[in-house]
Structure 1
């Protein structure tokens, strides 16, 4: 199948440096010697699916409070999530990515907005680089805890200055703006009811200044 959804019998792909350069019949492929040839006879090849929103850290707790409505579900799980470590988030993200790839998804975003203990966005980025998925890592944030009228407990929110500082760090360290980049960073305050108006504005300004995407619920 190609970009026009044309079904190609006995088709072939030509890939150079991770980029698909040609789709068509075998005779239509560039007359070059390939470093590697894969025989995919009796297989169907179609464009990779794209997942635009995910919370991969939740893979480890997805069987809990399944029948609760959203806010009750969050209130139930926040105390559990507050005990997450970087290694747990790494394992949970790698599990989620493996499931996506096995389902035909080759590109995924993930909105990580909870950073208890030693958790950083680097944990998910490490998982993505090891498993080989194209990844848009969304550096989420929450700054309004219960003491300030927010929904999450204070133990899982961050200081706004620290949020912006770490968001700059991961953009400068990891973001790849090239067309076929395997890793990009997204600025992603969690929601209008879990951050202040000031943080939402500053996040938008930060994203604009670096030329990266902005994402929220």
Structure 2
């Protein structure tokens, strides 16, 4: 049987946390895929050919043969359903639901952190100014939830690694890599997650200048 090709469309700077999440999932599953950059700055995501495939005109988009899907957590769930040999979500239904909760929260909340600590801090080493009061409140919420989810010496959220670990580590590293004050337990967790081979493969991609 011929293998159906996989194509991942990410932002041209490879700085999207959501494209990173899908890239890591594909690497963890040891699936062969082609990686393409989409120049969001020039509006390439709104061009008819890409818009028709993506539907939401966003990155990432994964094309699997003639089926295409955007929105990162939808993609990683699809990958687990389609390629279940190596899972990126917990097998236990409660833990799997919790992992999805963490992913949905990181994507829908904490906007001041995402605005004031963009991934340019992480992937381009750009320094950001001091956090505003609104961002400080979001940081407190992030630290509270992460602290409750992680035991003192936890390497992963739920025992075995899952894709929500990559997403949470990136959110924490927006702060860690800018030199913000991050509790030692959370900074240590983020550092361990960052050493994961699949994560480092994304980190080491060649990026064009901003």
Name the one with the larger helix percent.
2
Fold conserved between structures, TM > 0.5: no
Give the TM-score normalised by structure 2: 0.30
Give the TM-score normalised by structure 1: 0.30
Q: Which structure would you say has the larger RCO, counting Cα contacts within 8 Å and 6 or more residues apart?
A: 2
